[in-house]
Amino acid sequence: MHEYIWHKNDKRWLAILTVAVVSCWLILAIKSSIASNYNRKTELIAQQNLVLKQQIKQKQNNLNYQMQKKAVNSSNSEIRNSVRTIIGTNEAINISNKAFTTLNTYSNGKQYRNNQKTVKPYFDTNTLKNQQLFKKDKDVTGYSYIDASNLKSKSVSVETSAGVINNDHFPLIIKTIFNQNQFNKDHGQTQLVMMADYNYKTKKIGNVKFIGILYQGAIDN
């Protein structure tokens, strides 16, 4: 009789344990499903927010462009000059940095000459004749002095500051820094300062004048 009661209790506890295990599993499954759904919803919301932000940014850019376009041709000279100063300053800095970074980076005579062709759209006609800025690579014999001297140059930085617009012209101060070497030996670092002019209408740099060399010498290793 005692064994029969124990067997019955054992089944009862086994049933209770089974129910408990199944219940725990169901709870975990539900939590996992909820968490998974939450993560999917969170990702979806994040993607929707990103798309919305991009759309808002695009609309703001379009609106800013339309407002700038109207302001540039405003009958009010103060508004017109203020907007042209903002736009022209950014243009002048971008063009100057591109042009002088390109001019001061070359590893052979061919690249040097190609660089001069590449930057032509950035300068006016008179500046393209400036022999300090657009020095010819070939000597009287037609041979490249850059190749003969194994001269290489690499632009380090270009810093351009623009003044206040006056009759569609911006005064510029340009500082260029570049490293040079010959026959794989350090030839020193040069820092040049120039004055120039940016024409807002033609989008070109002109009247380039060399002020001086701030520093020229070997680089500390």
Phi-psi region of 25 (alpha: psi -120 to 50; beta: other; left: phi over 0): alpha
Confidence at residue 71, expressed as pLDDT on a 0 to 100 scale: 55
Confidence at residue 10, expressed as pLDDT on a 0 to 100 scale: 57
Residue found by looking up tokens 């169901």 in the block: 26
Backbone angles phi, psi at 130, to 5 degrees: -70, 110
pLDDT in tens, the chain (221 residues): 444 444 555 556 666 667 666 677 777 777 777 777 767 777 777 777 777 667 656 656 554 556 555 655 666 667 777 777 888 889 999 999 999 999 999 999 999 999 999 999 999 999 999 988 898 887 777 788 888 888 899 999 999 999 888 888 999 999 999 998 888 888 788 899 999 999 999 999 999 999 988 766 655 54
Confidence at residue 104, expressed as pLDDT on a 0 to 100 scale: 95
Confidence at residue 141, expressed as pLDDT on a 0 to 100 scale: 77
Confidence at residue 148, expressed as pLDDT on a 0 to 100 scale: 85
Confidence at residue 58, expressed as pLDDT on a 0 to 100 scale: 66
For 15-32, letters b (16+ CB in 10 Å) and e give eeeeeeeeeeeeeeeeee
- Degrees to nearest 5, angle at CA 130 with 128 and 131: 120
Record the pTM.
0.65
Identify the burial level of 142 via C-beta atoms within 10 angstroms of its C-beta, where 0-12 means exposed, 13-18 middle and 19 or more buried.
exposed
Confidence at residue 114, expressed as pLDDT on a 0 to 100 scale: 94
Residue ranges in 136-194 assigned as alpha helix (H): 145-149
Whole-number Cα distances in Å, 164 to 67, 71, 77: 21, 17, 14
CA distance 92 to 170: 8
